[in-house]
């Protein structure tokens, strides 16, 4: 398989279009057409990870965090980022990053945290806004079903656990073909009326190009009338963080100790314990101070995240317990998730879990 072919497999789990605007995801280093001999999956791409890839004969590193985040103006090896890139290039190793594309996936980072903590019925904590679009088009009644099927095949019409969803309305369309036109129905120079069906389907924003291509290929008209609107509806299958429930209520301290143990954390920083039972737990791997308000609004008893500053703990406001288990600790299982996913999708391919330690934070 080539780098590009494996990238397409990864995009089935986490489309790059789902990444946040500030992020830098996808193929960061290497030739997309290079034949891949082996894949090494890691949380961070550091020099020791590149060395491990060389040792294991893996020429593609799939990394959660992007080693190149801001633009590089030179490559002299003066810092760890430049040294990693130089070593990867000199050893013909490609680097692919997923980061917030996987953060926003319903089966990504936060789903794995829910699994590790034993949370049931997980749902997206902050559904992504403006990520659902609606296509409205008009077609001869006889062609409407074929057009709908083409749109469904391209990814339109999915609503939660339902697929092939659409709304149709029959009516009369009219047009006049001018000189040079080649109308499928009617004649040049004459006003023509045609019994048509209005077709409405929704789709996830990253599929727009494929949806329109399918529409144009399936539609009999020379000029296709259509409109695409961005909806205010939120996408419950896409977004940051998750919230789930424990099978059995627990004391706050008991849960924090469980989370500390399950996530191999050296320490747990948390806001004041409230003496409440814990049932609903919100999680967000990595830096999650921005979601404290969403966790409160969702009725979470505890919010597990990382990288909280002093004043962030005040935001708990005695409404929930906010817990910081560490950035690495809350994201460390991501590489296990990716290894499992790739092994199932391409079972006859060499996929290795990185053994390199990349956590930069140490505790006494």
Q: Is 270 assigned a ligand-binding role in the annotation?
A: no
pLDDT (0 to 100) of residue 234: 85
Strands 277-287 and 167-176: unpaired
pLDDT at residue 71 in the model:
84
Per DSSP, the three-state class of 79 is coil
And the tokens for 302?
């505890």
Reported as a single tens digit per residue, the pLDDT across 300-337 is 999 999 999 999 999 999 999 999 999 999 999 999 99
311 is in an annotated binding site: no
8 A C-beta contact, residue 228 and residue 205:
no
Other Cβ atoms closer than 10 A to 314: 11
User: What is the pLDDT, as a whole number, of residue 70?
Assistant: 87
Helix intervals (H) in the chain: 3-13, 47-55, 80-90, 99-103, 109-117, 144-153, 208-218, 252-262, 292-297, 327-331, 334-345
Question: Which residues face 306 on adjacent strands?
Answer: 287
Instruction: Tell me whether residue 327 is annotated as binding.
Output: yes
Report the Cα 166 to chain-centroid distance in Å. 25
Output the pTM of the full model. 0.90
Q: Which residue ranges form the domains of the chain, and what is each CATH number?
A: 3-101 (3.40.1390.30), 109-127+239-331 (3.40.1390.30), 132-233 (3.30.70.120)
Q: What are phi and psi of 23, to 5 degrees?
A: -85, 170
Contacts of 269-272 with C-beta under 8 Å, sequence gap 24+, read 269/308, 269/313, 269/323, 269/324, 270/313, 270/321, 270/322, 270/323, 270/324, 271/313, 271/316, 271/321, 271/322, 271/323, 272/316, 272/318, 272/321
Express each pLDDT in 232-289 by its tens digit: 988 889 999 999 999 999 999 999 999 999 999 999 999 999 999 999 999 999 999 9
What are the beta bridge partners of residue 238? 105
- Region of 360 on the Ramachandran plot (φ > 0 left; ψ -120 to 50 alpha; else beta): alpha
Regions of the chain short of the pLDDT cut 50: none
On whether 331 is known to bind a ligand per the annotation, the reply is yes
């Amino acid at each position: 398989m080539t780098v590009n072919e494996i990238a397409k497999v990864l995009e089935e789990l986490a489309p790059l279009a789902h990444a946040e605007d500030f992020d830098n995801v996808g193929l960061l280093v290497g030739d997309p057409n290079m034949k891949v001999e082996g894949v090494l999956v890691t949380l961070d791409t550091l020099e020791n990870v590149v060395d491990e890839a060389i040792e294991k004969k893996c020429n593609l590193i799939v990394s959660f965090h992007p080693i190149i985040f801001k633009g590089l103006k030179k490559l002299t090896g003066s810092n760890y980022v430049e040294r990693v890139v130089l070593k990867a290039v000199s050893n013909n190793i490609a680097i692919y990053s997923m980061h917030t594309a996987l953060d926003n996936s319903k089966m990504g980072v936060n789903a794995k945290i829910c699994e590790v903590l034993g949370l049931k019925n997980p749902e997206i904590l902050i559904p992504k806004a403006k990520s659902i679009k609606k296509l409205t088009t008009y077609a001869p009644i006889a062609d409407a079903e074929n057009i709908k099927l083409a749109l469904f095949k391209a990814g339109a019409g999915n609503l939660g656990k339902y697929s092939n969803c659409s709304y149709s309305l029959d009516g009369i369309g009219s047009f006049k073909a001018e000189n040079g036109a080649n109308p499928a129905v009617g004649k040049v120079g004459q006003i023509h009326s045609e019994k048509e069906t209005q077709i409405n389907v929704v789709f996830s924003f990253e599929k727009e190009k494929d949806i329109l291509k399918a529409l144009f290929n399936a539609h009999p008209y020379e000029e296709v009338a259509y409109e695409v609107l961005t909806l205010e509806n939120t996408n419950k299958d896409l977004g940051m963080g998750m919230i789930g429930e424990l099978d059995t209520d627990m004391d706050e301290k008991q849960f924090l100790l469980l989370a500390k143990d399950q996530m191999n954390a050296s320490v747990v920083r948390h806001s004041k314990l409230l003496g409440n039972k814990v049932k609903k737990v919100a999680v967000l791997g990595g830096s999650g101070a921005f979601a404290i308000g969403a966790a409160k609004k969702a009725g979470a008893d505890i919010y597990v995240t990382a990288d909280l500053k002093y004043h962030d703990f005040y935001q708990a406001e005695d409404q929930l317990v906010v817990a910081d288990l560490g950035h690495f600790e809350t994201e460390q299982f991501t590489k296990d998730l990716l290894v499992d996913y790739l092994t199932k999708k391409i079972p006859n391919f060499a996929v290795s879990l990185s053994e390199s330690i990349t956590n930069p934070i140490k505790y006494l």
